[in-house]
Amino acid sequence: MKPHKASHIIACRNGSKTSREDFLAVEEPLLISLQGPEQTEPTPLLSIMRTPGDDENLVRGFLFAEGIIDKQGQITTIEHFDDLGERDENHLVVSLNEQHVPVSERRFTANSSCGVCGRLLIEDIEKLSNRPMNPNGPYLSESVVLQITNRAKTEQPLFELTGASHAASLYSANGELIAVCEDIGRHNALDKLIGMTLTNEPQLLAEAILLVSGRASYELAQKAVRAGIPVMLAVGAPSSLAVRIAQRFDMTLIGFLKSSRYNIYHGQWRMQTEDLPNVT
């Protein structure tokens, strides 16, 4: 299933109307089911709206971020199936070789309006087996931060085609693009990125810079901390809870990225000394 589809539109510009073809980001539901070693039938976990095309990495990243698995080796297979055993692009069955937390005992954060206590959420993160945060870097310069900011959209092909997707990108400390994932949902984009990196090159996470489109919410900061990513850049502003998470786990958090400016909310020690102002 492709991540985009063609659509007929009438483009209105400066009083003129033109009939032409445009492209839309595809949004489809994905049912995720889990099957443990003692189960004869998979158990539905949840349905999410996503952009298809990278479902396996999306599921790998989501299960890790939520603490359902602690390592990728706990997953035996990930396959598209429906209830009759036929291939279904919108249903993934994940087979696990170790016991996982029963679905009935899991508590997922639905969205930013759920009104749950911030302290409880941070305690939940502490209980997870997080990857260790790098205490020795990486160190980045202002020129790298601005370089990443100014070229980010050119590295997001689905957004360039449709204008309707979010992105999560991973960079090295010198600004080299490692990987980028896109989705109609910003949390999905980050889950895809984490799932891909944990599967292929997990050692890169401890030295990487994460860039997310839009604002830095609790959910995105939580996923970054869980993966042990030491630096998070956001095009928009962070929420108060995202800042608290950055402070608690000493993750460098930078937001309000523009072509020539940005705000450091925590972790300025990872910025190279010559780039830091005297702060009083």
In the chain, count H helices and then E strands. 7, 12
Q: How many CB atoms lie within 10 A of CB 132?
A: 8
Q: How far apart are the C-alpha atoms of 151 and 78, rounded to whole Å?
A: 34
Q: Which residues are catalytic?
A: 114
Q: How far apart are the C-alpha atoms of 253 and 247, rounded to whole Å?
A: 9
Q: Which of 244, 247, 240 is nearest to 268 (CA)?
A: 247
CB–CB of 90/113 below 8 Å? no
Q: How far apart are the C-alpha atoms of 112 and 125, rounded to whole Å?
A: 16
